[in-house]
Amino acid sequence: MPAEKPSPESLVRISAAAQAAGVSKQTIEYYLMLGLIEPVRIEGRHGRFFDDELIKRIRLIRQLNKSGYTLRDIRETYLTNR
């Protein structure tokens, strides 16, 4: 069964996602560039949108990185199994 798509009302733009995750907008941009996260796309709407699950993932990446894991390790070990 495919995952349920989030409703547009439950999505936020990058600035609000950064604030909710406790990181900078630049940090999210960097995670996007490295392929650690991928924003939710809404058909017919432009921009990058983030849901609660993606914000939790950003927090997890940040916690793991702060505790000494490299972003490469995080991507290869923790995020490929999710």
Q: What is the mean pLDDT of residues 23-31?
A: 96
Q: Which domains does the chain have, with CATH numbers?
A: 11-79 (1.10.1660.10)
> How far lies 57's CA from each of 54, 60, 62, in Å?
5, 5, 9
Stated pTM of the model: 0.81
- Taking phi over 0 as left and psi of -120 to 50 as alpha, with beta for the rest, 40 belongs to beta
- 71 compared with 7, residue with greater pLDDT: 71
pLDDT at 77: 86
Digit-coded pLDDT (tens) for 40-80 = 877 667 788 999 999 999 999 999 999 999 999 999 887 76
